[in-house]
A and B are shown apart, each in its own frame.
Chain A
Amino acid sequence: MHASSVVLILLLLGVTVLGFWAARWREKGSLESMDDWALGGRNFGVVVSWFLIGGDLYTAYTFIAVPALVYGVGAFAFFALPYTIVAYPFAIVTLTRFWTVASKRGYVTAADFVRDRYGDRSLEVLVAITGVIAILPYIALQLVGMKVIFGQLGGAFAAGGGVLALTVAFVLLASYTYTSGLRAPALIAFVKDTLIYLTIICAIVAVTHMFGGWAGIFDAAGKALAARPKPATLLLPSQLYFAYGSVALGSALALFIYPHSITSLLSARTRTVVKRNMALLPIYSLLLGFLALLGYAGIAAGIKVANPQLIVPILFQRIFPDWFVGVAYAAIVIGALVPAAIMAIGGANLFASNLFNEFSPTRTATETRIAKILTLVICAVALLFVIFVNPKYAIGFQFLGGAWILQIFPAFIIGLFTRWFHPKALILGWAVGIVAGTYMAIMTNFTANFPLHLFGGTLIGYGPLYALILNLIVTTIATPIFAAAKVGAGADFTSAADYA
C-alpha cells in the first residue's frame, strides 16, 4: 500500500474516534434535547464558531471545484472570492438579527421563524421542504469530492468506482453524527482546518519554488489559456461583467439561508460571537483564493486533464512526497465530512421541527430522536444518489437547489425586518420563483448564466437571482390584493423586542 493511503487511513480513523468522543465534549445536559444535540448546547464561543462556520461554508467540494473552474475558464472562476466575501456584510446585518430572535423564541430552523412570524402552517411546510430538497444534492456534492480523491488514490479506495470507501466513510460519519450531534463536526473542524492550512501553505511554497515566483506562473497560464481552442484570459470578458457580479451577489444571498449555515450559526453562544465571526470570516476566503491560484499553477505546469476536477489532486501528486499527498487528500476528505455532517443535521432539524410536527417552542425528546434517525436517512439518500446517479447530475441538482433555496429569501430574510408581506402572497411568490428558477436552470443546462432578453437587449446574469426578483415582484403585487380580499393574514407571535 502507498504511504499516502496509510496516512489517509490513519487520519480518518483519528477523526472517527474524535467524532464519537465529541459526545462528551463540553457536556452539559443530556444529548436528548434539540438544543444540545442539534446545536451543541447553543454554547460555542468565537473560536469554536470560527472553525465550525468556516468548516461548514468552505466545503471540500469548493476546494476541488474552484481550481477546476479556474483551470476551465480562467478569470471568471474568481467570482468565488467576491461571493464568499460579500456574504458577510449581508449576514452581519440580517443573521445577527435572526440569531437574536431565534435565541429568544427558541428556534432551531429558519422555518421555525417563518411559522412564528406569519402564523401560517403551509408557508412553514414549504420553507422546510425547500431546505430539505436543497440540502440533499449539496451533501451528494461532498461525496462527489471524496470520490475524486478516492479514485486518485487507487487500490482498495478506488474499488468499485470508490463505492466501498465512500460507503465506509459515510456509515462512520452518520454514526458519530447520530451519537454526538453538532459537537462531532465542531470538533473535527479543528482537524480539518489544521490540515487544510498546512496543505495550502506547503502547496503555495512548493509551487512558488518550482516556478521561481508567481509572475512566471501568471505569464505561463495566460499564454496557455490564450492558446486554447476556446481562448480564455486572466481578465474578464466585458460581456460577462454583469454575470460575474450577479453570480457573486446571488450566491452570497443564498449562502446563509441554507439549513447548514443556520445550524452552525445558531450554535453560537451570544450575539457578539455571531457578529465577531461575521467580521472575521472573510479572511477564510484567503484560503479559497490560494486554492484558486493553484488552478493557474496547474495550467502553467502544463497538466492536461480531461476532468478538470482532477487538477488539484494531480498537482498535489506532482509537488508533494507520497506521504504528504496522504495529508493533503485527508484534508479534502475530512473537509467533506464536516459540512456533510452539519448539512445532515440541518436537514434533519427541518424534518423534526417543521414537517413531522408543527413548530412549537416547547420541544420533546421525541423530536430529537426523530432528528437523529433522519440524520441517518439523509446520509443514506445522499450516498445512494452518488452511487446510482451520474455525478454530473449531482452538480446540476446542487445548482437547482441554490435556485430554490433563494426563493425563501422574502419570507425569511425580509421577514426579519418587516411583516408587511401577506403569507399567502409569499407562497404565490415562492411558487413563481421556483418555477422560473427551474425553467431557467433547464434552459441553460444547469449553468449559472441566463441570457435575459429585456427591452431589446440581452443581459447575461445569474438565473436564480432573476427568479428571486420575479418572486419579489409577485409577492409585492399580491400582498395588497390578498389584504383587500380579506384573506386571513395569520398571527405574528414575535414582538419588536425579540429582535433587539
Chain B
Amino acid sequence: MSRVRILRTLLVVLPIVALTVCVPLVNRIEPRLFGMPFILLWILFWVFATPGFLWGVGRTEGRW
C-alpha cells in the first residue's frame, strides 16, 4: 500500500474503532467536564473529531 492509502485507511478506521471497539476503555464516570460523565465526553469528542478525520480523507483525493 502506498503511504497515502495507509493514511486514508487510518483516518477512516480510527473513528469507527474509537466508538465501537474502545467502549470498555472509556466506560467510566470520572473525569467529568460540565458534569458530563466521561463516556459521554468521549462520544462528544468524536462528534467534532470525525469531521476533521474525514476532511483529511477528502484531502487525500486531491481536489477538495
Contact = CB atoms under 8 A, between A and B. Distances in A.
Interface in A82-96: 82, 85-86, 88-90, 92-93
A218 to B, nearest CB: 6
Contacts of A78: 39-40, 43
A282 B54 contact: yes
B50 A85 contact: yes
* Chain A binding surface SS class: helix
Contacts, number: 111
Contact of B27 (A88, A235, A275, A279): A235
Given A85-B19, A236-B23, A248-B20, A216 B47 contact: no
B58 A279 contact: yes
Contacts of A45: none
A234 interface: yes
* Chain B binding surface SS class: helix
A289 B47 contact: yes
Interface string A261-287: 000000000001001101110110110
Interface string B6-38: 000001110110011101100111001011110
Interface residues of B, number: 35
Interface stretch (A1-9, A238-246, A304-312, A386-394): A238-246
Nearest to A219: B35
A486 B3 CA distance: 40
A241 B63 CA distance: 39
B63 A216 contact: no
Contacts of A283: 47-48, 51
Given A217-B35, A272-B63, A279 B47 contact: no
Contacts of B51: 279-280, 282-283
A342 interface: no
A428 interface: no
Contacts of B48: 283
A435 B49 CA distance: 39
B35 A92 contact: no
Nearest to B64: A272
A231 interface: no
Contacts of A219: 35
A214 B35 contact: yes
A296 to B, nearest CB: 9
A14 interface: no
Contacts of A214: 34-36
Contact of B57 (A75, A81, A92, A249): A92
B11 to A, nearest CB: 8
B20 A218 contact: no
B44 interface: yes
Contacts of A154: none
A213 interface: yes
B49 to A, nearest CB: 9
Contact of B35 (A82, A216, A238, A245): A216
A213 B61 contact: no
Contacts of B47: 81, 85, 282-283, 285-286, 289
Interface of B: 11-13, 15-16, 19-21, 23-24, 27-29, 32, 34-37, 39-40, 43-44, 46-48, 50-51, 53-55, 57-58, 61, 63-64
Interface of A: 75, 78, 81-82, 85-86, 88-90, 92-93, 213-219, 234-236, 238, 241, 244-246, 248-249, 272, 275-276, 278-280, 282-283, 285-286, 289
6 contacts: A88-B54, A241-B27, A244-B23, A249-B16, A249-B20, A282-B46
Given A215-B34, A218-B35, 10 more contacts: A88-B54, A89-B54, A90-B12, A213-B35, A215-B35, A236-B39, A241-B24, A279-B51, A280-B51, A282-B47
